[in-house]
Structure 1
Amino acid sequence: MDYVKPLGVVESMLAYGTVKLNVPPRHLVIRGMLAGAYLGIATSMAVTAAVETGLWIVGSLLFPFGLALAVLLGTEIITGSFALLPCAAVESKGQVGMRRILANWGWVFLGNLLGSTLYALLFALCITTAWDGTVPPVGAKLIAMAEAKTNYYAAHGSAGLLTVFTKAVLCNWMVSLAVVAAFASTSFTGKLFAIWGPTVLFFSQGFEHAVVNMFVIPVGMLLGANVTAPAWWLWNQIPVTLGNLVGGMLFTGLAIYLTHRTAMPAASQAVPAVQPHPAPAQQGYSPSF
């Protein structure tokens, strides 16, 4: 059996969080760019499938492969780090400060933004024949999505902000759960299924994910959406990022850590405190960067 019990899942959460805290900034950016591109590619594929079939659920069933690639290949997704890093910080008993966590999140966020927007540019260039042709149906759908993710919330003022924030909390409750659930299996197939389920739950219901929106809104703008850069950040990117933080940190990371870690016997306290240099490599990560 390749099933890992919850106590083992928490130990893996702490180990991966510790390793992530020791990754140098340049690698956080590179891995963040890769993750942003993977999620952008998965989103464009999902939207294309939904447009061609007329069924959003078809795209929702395909999208998780992008997140699975990002997780299994050891890239950096800001929404997963929202769940793992606070747990490692609590476990370190004061050795990890908030400044260190915020710096890590900042580099990963930058990488995600660069990778997502770069793919948005490349995708827009492809589907418009370098802006020499008409926008195809998938492009029209992305334009509508970009406007719905910004102008719709703006039209509802404070109620719109509360709504987009809440949808972001619900989103990363599921996405970070997919990241954590992958620790519940030691096989590739098991990890894939663990990631797939929660991701379908978020994407199929139209919840708001910060990295996905780093692709959807810029590509919509490039294709002609009536969205300004300030509207993108004020009515979506900033509140969605904050909502993702709350959902991942409180509802997944700390909730699972606090209920299972406190129940662990002393003999199982195997995760070392954070050191200036990372511990031995953990399933795909290497301390020799």
Structure 2
Amino acid sequence: MSYVSPPEFVQKMIDAGESKAFMSTRDTMIRAYMAGAVLALSAAFAVTVTVQTGEALLGAVLFPVGFCLLYLLGFDLLTGVFTLVPLALIDRRPGVTPRSVLRNWGLVFTGNFAGALTVAVMMAVIFTVGFSMEPNEIGRQIGSIGEGRTVGYAEHGAAGMLTLFVRAVLCNWMVSTGVVAAMMSTSVSGKVIAMWMPVMLFFYMGFEHSILNMYLFPSGLMLGGDFSIMDYLVWNELPTVAGNLVGGLTFVGLTLYATHARTAGSLDRPTPQKIDAPVKVDA
């Protein structure tokens, strides 16, 4: 059967985290760069579909195409390594240290940002015909997304920051569930179906994904969005990274590890009482 039981795929999660902690700088950067680029293309595709059809749900249904492709190709998103790599440290895998975990996170963040920014520049060229005219309708929509999800939060002060953080937590709860779900099956179709559902949910609900935002916000700045780089960093990217870390590690990585890799053990079963057979008395 293609289904992998939870105790088995949790061990795969730990093994994957260990492998990523020891991956070379070169390979980590290449895989992170490509993951950021593919996810950015998927975001551009989803926004295009939404604008052209007027159906946000359709854009959300189609967005997971990029997510599924990048994980099937073995590329890495920061949201995924937030969940997997610390498990190797918690499981005390030899050689895995806090420094190696932070090194992996830093390299993946850098690679993801570079990949997403590359696509942002390319798509801005397309939306403005080489910056020779005003952005088209899709470009204007991307600019408005960046403005609403930076300045829009800032207008509410602390309440806006809390909302942003909670949306980021919920985002990586779903995205990391998609990452883990790919390990539940040994077939390509099973992996895709399992990944598709939580990723579609996060996108339609408007939760905050740090890598997706690495495309949307720089792109919005290039396409005339009325916000600054500091607005982007303070009122979106940095709180989103923190929320994604909490959401993925707490609600996915640690919960699965605690109950399937470090099970607390079963309660003692009560001993069945033996009932003596009735004594038969001859008449």
TM norm structure 1: 0.89
Give the distance between the partners of 2:52 and 2:208, measured in 1 at CA.
Answer: 23
TM-superposed deviation, 1:149: 1.3
Residue 236 of structure 2 corresponds to which residue in structure 1?
Answer: 236
Residue 277 of structure 1 corresponds to which residue in structure 2?
Answer: none
The one-character-per-residue Cα deviations of 1:64-101 (angstroms, maximum 9, x if unpaired) are 01111111111111000011011111112674221111
TM-superposed deviation, 1:199: 0.2
Give the distance between the partners of 2:50 and 2:62, measured in 1 at CA.
Answer: 10
Give the distance between the partners of 1:260 and 1:2, measured in 2 at CA.
Answer: 19
Correspondence list, 1:1-289, <5 A: 1-92=1-92, 95-263=95-263
One-letter amino acid matched to 1:80: G
Give the distance between the partners of 1:143 and 1:135, measured in 2 at CA.
Answer: 9
One-letter amino acid matched to 1:17: G
Give the distance between the partners of 1:158 and 1:29, measured in 2 at CA.
Answer: 35
Larger deviation, residues 184-193 vs 14-23: 14-23
The one-character-per-residue Cα deviations of 1:163-222 (angstroms, maximum 9, x if unpaired) are 101000000000000000100000000000011000011001000000000000010100
The one-character-per-residue Cα deviations of 1:234-267 (angstroms, maximum 9, x if unpaired) are 00000000000000011001111111112399xx
Structure number, greater radius of gyration: 2
One-letter amino acid matched to 1:165: F
One-letter amino acid matched to 1:218: P
- SS of aligned partner of 1:3: coil
- SS of aligned partner of 2:132: coil
Conserved 8 A contact 2:37-2:115: yes
Give the distance between the partners of 2:134 and 2:234, measured in 1 at CA.
Answer: 30
TM-superposed deviation, 1:154: 1.0
Q: Which one scores higher on RCO, CA 8 angstroms, separation ≥ 6? A: 1
Conserved 8 A contact 1:7-1:264: no
Larger deviation, residues 25-34 vs 194-203: 25-34
- SS of aligned partner of 2:226: coil
One-letter amino acid matched to 2:210: A
Conserved 8 A contact 1:36-1:111: yes
Aligned structure 1 segments of 4 or more residues deviating by more than 4 angstroms: none
Q: How many corresponding residue pairs?
A: 265
One-letter amino acid matched to 2:258: L
Structure 1: runs of 5+ lacking an equivalent: 266-289
TM-superposed deviation, 1:157: 1.1
* Identical counterparts, % of pairs: 42
Conserved 8 A contact 1:29-1:108: yes
Structure 2: runs of 5+ lacking an equivalent: 266-283
- SS of aligned partner of 2:23: coil
TM-superposed deviation, 1:140: 1.1
One-letter amino acid matched to 1:99: R
Give the distance between the partners of 1:30 and 1:157, measured in 2 at CA.
Answer: 38
Give the distance between the partners of 1:187 and 1:28, measured in 2 at CA.
Answer: 25
Give the distance between the partners of 1:161 and 1:134, measured in 2 at CA.
Answer: 32
Conserved 8 A contact 2:22-2:100: no
Gap change, CA 1:186 and 1:212, over 3 Å in 2: same
CA RMSD of aligned residues (A): 1.3
Give the distance between the partners of 1:177 and 1:163, measured in 2 at CA.
Answer: 21
Give the distance between the partners of 1:70 and 1:2, measured in 2 at CA.
Answer: 21
TM-superposed deviation, 1:109: 0.1
Conserved 8 A contact 1:86-1:254: no
Give the distance between the partners of 1:57 and 1:236, measured in 2 at CA.
Answer: 24
The one-character-per-residue Cα deviations of 1:119-155 (angstroms, maximum 9, x if unpaired) are 0001000121011123111111101100011110111
One-letter amino acid matched to 1:65: V
Gap change, CA 1:59 and 1:83, over 3 Å in 2: same
